[in-house]
């Protein structure tokens, strides 16, 4: 018996959330339960709760993502939350950013199998692609790092007045309070903790939202972006 055989039937909420792309969501769940486990991208104990704890938990993030924006999913891993978000929001242009080759290979396979033309897979770390990856309006992340460290990676990738949406757990408020000084240095102007997924997931998904001003990442990262842009122009002229 394979791990895929242990995948429970999709709950009724999944059909409502994913709509016309529900078959693609089922295929993604099957890929996670099979290839995802075999490649070490997700633990076998997570298979029975893939729908509630992972796919739906991530899909409801769409409730707070503005319409038609560009998104970078930092540390995408097995595609959470980027792939579920892409399945429910074809209006978004999403980049799945992940440094590990085995994970980017899996992500590329998933994107091609599911026909997600609005999704691009990029291999690299956030600090490495700064200046080469086009700034985005929204950065998403889930289970990547503590908020202060995550913001140091994700916030500099934003356009001015963009926002980072981080899926967090029960300690979201505590984590946010402990990261306020670091967030301020990164040019963050607004913060809030949101609950999403009413009627879909229980417990609700917790999202930390941070909004930046004119200088995403602060002065230090503004200098890095300017240097990267100059380097890029020099290379194009050669």
- Looking at residue 238, its pLDDT comes to 57
pLDDT at 144: 81
Model confidence pLDDT, tens digit, residues 56-95: 999 999 999 999 999 999 999 999 999 999 999 999 999 9
The pLDDT value recorded for residue 145 is 87
Residues lower than pLDDT 70 in the chain = 1-5, 219-220, 222-238
Residue 125 · residue 150 · CB < 8 Å = no
C-alpha to C-alpha distance for 72 and 95, rounded to whole angstroms: 5
3-state secondary structure (DSSP) of residue 146? coil
CA distance 237 to 215: 28
Q: What gap in Å lies between CA 130 and CA 232, rounded to an integer?
A: 12
pLDDT at 217: 83
Taking Cα atoms as reference points, which of 57, 43, 48 lies closest to residue 9?
A: 48
Burial of 64 (0-12, 13-18, 19+ CB in 10 A): middle
| Beta bridge mates, 30 | none
pLDDT for the residue 235: 54
**pLDDT for the residue 87:** 98
Count of H-run helices and E-run strands, the chain: 10, 7
B/e letters for 104-128, b = 16+ CB within 10 Å, e = fewer, are bebbeebbeebebeebbbbbeebee
- The pLDDT, as a whole number, for residue 177 is 94
Q: 137-146: per-residue pLDDT in tens?
A: 999 999 788 9
């Amino acid at each position: 018996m394979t791990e895929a055989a242990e995948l429970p039937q999709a709950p009724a909420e999944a059909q409502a959330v994913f709509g016309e792309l529900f078959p693609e969501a089922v295929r993604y769940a099957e890929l996670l339960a099979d290839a995802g486990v075999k490649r070490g991208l997700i633990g076998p104990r997570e298979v029975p709760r893939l729908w509630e704890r992972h796919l739906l938990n991530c899909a409801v993030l769409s409730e707070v993502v503005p319409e038609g924006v560009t998104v970078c999913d930092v540390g995408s891993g097995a595609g959470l939350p980027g792939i579920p978000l892409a399945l429910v929001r074809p209006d978004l242009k999403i980049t799945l950013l992940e440094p590990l080759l085995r994970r980017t290979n899996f992500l590329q396979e998933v994107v091609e199998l599911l026909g997600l033309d609005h999704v691009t897979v990029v291999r690299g770390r956030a600090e490495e692609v700064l200046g080469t990856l086009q700034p985005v309006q929204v950065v998403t992340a889930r289970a990547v790092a503590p908020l202060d460290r995550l913001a140091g990676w994700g916030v500099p990738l934003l356009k001015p007045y963009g926002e980072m949406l981080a899926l967090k757990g029960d300690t979201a408020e505590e984590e946010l309070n402990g990261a306020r000084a670091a967030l301020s240095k990164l040019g963050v102007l607004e913060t809030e903790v949101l609950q999403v997924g009413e009627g879909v997931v229980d417990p609700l998904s917790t999202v930390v939202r941070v909004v930046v001003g004119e200088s995403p990442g602060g002065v230090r990262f503004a200098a890095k972006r300017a240097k990267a842009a100059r380097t890029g122009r020099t290379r194009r002229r050669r």
